[in-house]
Structures are given as structure tokens and as C-alpha cells.
Structure 1
Amino acid sequence: MPAMRKGDVICEECGAGFRRIELGSRRGMPAEFRCPLCNHLLEKHDGSTEVAYRLTVAPEKIFE
């Protein structure tokens, strides 16, 4: 696995967008990532790598 992989994740429920960074060189903890805006489950992790998320696109309904 590459040392670092970047990608994007979109919440199917509210449309929020997140930048996803996965570090293959570090172990993480088994966990799940839920959208902090609507609590929709986006991904589950087994802890084999470290994964971090950053909100990059807020859903339109926040601005209404």
C-alpha cells in the first residue's frame, strides 16, 4: 500500500463532502466515520491504517 492515499467522500444523506487521507505507514483504531452534520454512516475501518477526514463541502441546506 502507498504511504499516503487521498480521496473524497460524499455523504449520500446530506451532500456534505470530505477530504479523506489514509496513511498506510500508521496503524489506526477500528472505528466508523459518521457525517458530523447528519450522523449518516460513511465508512467503517478495521484499524489497519490511520484515516483522517476534513469537511470540504458543506451541504446547501446549511445556508438556507
Structure 2
Amino acid sequence: MRKSDVTCPHCQAGYRRIELTSKGGVAGEFRCLVCDHIIELMDGSTDVAFRLTVRPGKTSYAY
């Protein structure tokens, strides 16, 4: 198991990323829960989970 912290480059929201290398996951993408920016593209070779840990201040984001 690998743990790391990830920050959205668009809105600065913080996430805890947990990757289980012993278990296959699902291919796809993870988008920021605050601004919908793509955080990571996953190939499904490992199981990856994200948890929002730092919510940025109230700001209006242009998409």
C-alpha cells in the first residue's frame, strides 16, 4: 500500500491518495470534487482511492 498527498493544480484542493499495488483496479479518471479538473488518469493495474482532505476557500472557478 502506498499513501501520498495530491493537490489539484487548478483550485488547490488537497487529497489523500491510497494505492493498493496488490489489487487490480478500474481504468478511468479521477476528477477534483471541487472544480472538476482531472487529477489522475488510471490504467487499472492497481486499485487507487482518493479522499478530500483540504477544501479550498470559497472562490469562483472558470471552467
TM-score, length of structure 2 as denominator length: 0.89
Query: Equivalent of 1:11, from 5, 8, 13?
Result: 8
Provide the aligned length of Structure 1 versus Structure 2: 59
- Following superposition, which runs of at least 4 residues in structure 1 exceed 4 angstroms of deviation? none
Structure 2: which 5+ residue stretches go unaligned? none
Residue of structure 1 aligned with 2:30, choices 23, 26, 33: 33
Unaligned runs of 5+ in 1: none
Q: Aligned match of 1:60 in 32, 57, 60?
A: 57
In structure 2, what is the Cα distance between the partners aligned to 1:57 and 1:11?
10
Percent of paired sites with the same residue: 59
SS at match of 1:61: coil
Aligned-CA RMSD value: 1.0
Q: TM-score, normalised by structure 1?
A: 0.87
Measured against aligned partners, the alpha-carbon deviations of 1:19-38 in whole angstroms (never above 9, x if no partner) come to 00000011001010000111
Between Structure 1 and Structure 2, the one with more helix by share is 1
Q: Report the Cα distance in structure 2 between the residues aligned to 1:18 and 1:44, rounded to whole angstroms.
A: 15
